[in-house]
Structures are given as C-alpha cells and as structure tokens.
C-alpha cells in the first residue's frame, strides 16, 4: 500500500522537514539568495517576510512599499519589499520570490520569553499557495510542488 510520501513524490512534490518549537510554532530551514536562515512556517501570514535587520544578511535590495503590515498584536507597521529573489526549502526552489521586510523584533522578543530561538523570518501563504502545499502535521513534513 502506498503512503502519502510515495503518492506525492509521484506527483512531483518535494518533501521538506519542519520542527515544532517550544512555542508550538512550525520551524523550517531555508535559503534566501543562497544564504541559510531559520523561519516560522505560518499558514496565517499572507506574505513571507523577514526583519529589517536581515536585509544585508540575505543580500536583498529593499524598496519602499506603500503597504503597511499588520500582525499578531501590531498594525500599521512600515514595510519594504524585495523582489526577484531565490528561495530554496530543501529540494524545492523558486527564483521569482518577493519578500516583505518589516520590524520583526516583537516576534523574536516573544519567542525569547519562552526561551525559543529567534528566527530570520516567516514563510507565509504566498509560498504555500505557489507550491500547492500539503502539510503533514503528524510526521512534520511540508510538501511543495
């Protein structure tokens, strides 16, 4: 009998491992423009994003954005955008990746309260939709096509 992994592999999906943090967040490793980072996998975030403090780290070209960000407990936050980047999550890759840049200090402060490691950013629904995501919560795998 075929399992979920076998079926999805035949359909061209790539398997990406994630971990569960002390705060019950889904943690995933990835590369932006070839630079390794740690991210929260967040189905409730409309866009993938990183903090202002990681723009140089990921070699991003930040442009001012007219959009304001709203997130857990915060609204009206200044944002920037960076377009035409590469995102790689395990063996899945996209070269047309735009990312929102905003102040993520409140996210990392909250994680540190629970003695959880800080993250570089968030992988959001934009990537989950693009990759036709299937999340296997029980086995801790994200599948992207």
Confirm if 142 and 7 have CB atoms less than 8 A apart: no
Strand, coil or helix: what is 120? coil
Question: pLDDT digit string (tens) for 15-64?
Answer: 999 999 988 999 999 999 999 999 999 999 999 999 999 999 999 999 98
Question: pLDDT digit string (tens) for 60-119?
Answer: 999 987 665 555 555 567 889 999 999 999 999 999 999 999 899 988 998 888 888 899
| Other beta carbons within 10 Å of 81 | 19
Alpha-carbon distance values, 88 to 6, 14, 31 (Å): 22, 11, 5
Relative to beta strand 79-89, strand 63-64 is antiparallel
**Which pTM does this prediction carry?**
0.89
């Amino acid at each position: 009998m075929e399992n979920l992994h076998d079926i999805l592999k035949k359909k061209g999906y790539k398997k990406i491992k994630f971990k569960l943090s002390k705060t019950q967040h889904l943690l995933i490793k990835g590369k932006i423009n070839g630079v390794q980072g740690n991210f929260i996998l967040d189905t409730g975030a409309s866009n993938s994003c990183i903090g202002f403090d990681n723009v140089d780290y990921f070699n991003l070209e930040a442009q001012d954005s007219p959009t304001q960000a709203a997130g857990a407990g915060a609204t009206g936050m200044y944002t920037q955008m960076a377009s035409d980047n590469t995102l790689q999550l395990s063996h899945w890759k996209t070269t047309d990746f735009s990312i929102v840049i905003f102040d993520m200090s409140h996210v990392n402060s909250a994680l540190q309260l629970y003695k959880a490691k800080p993250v570089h950013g968030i992988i959001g629904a934009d990537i989950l939709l693009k990759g036709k995501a299937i999340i296997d919560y029980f086995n801790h795998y994200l599948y992207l096509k």
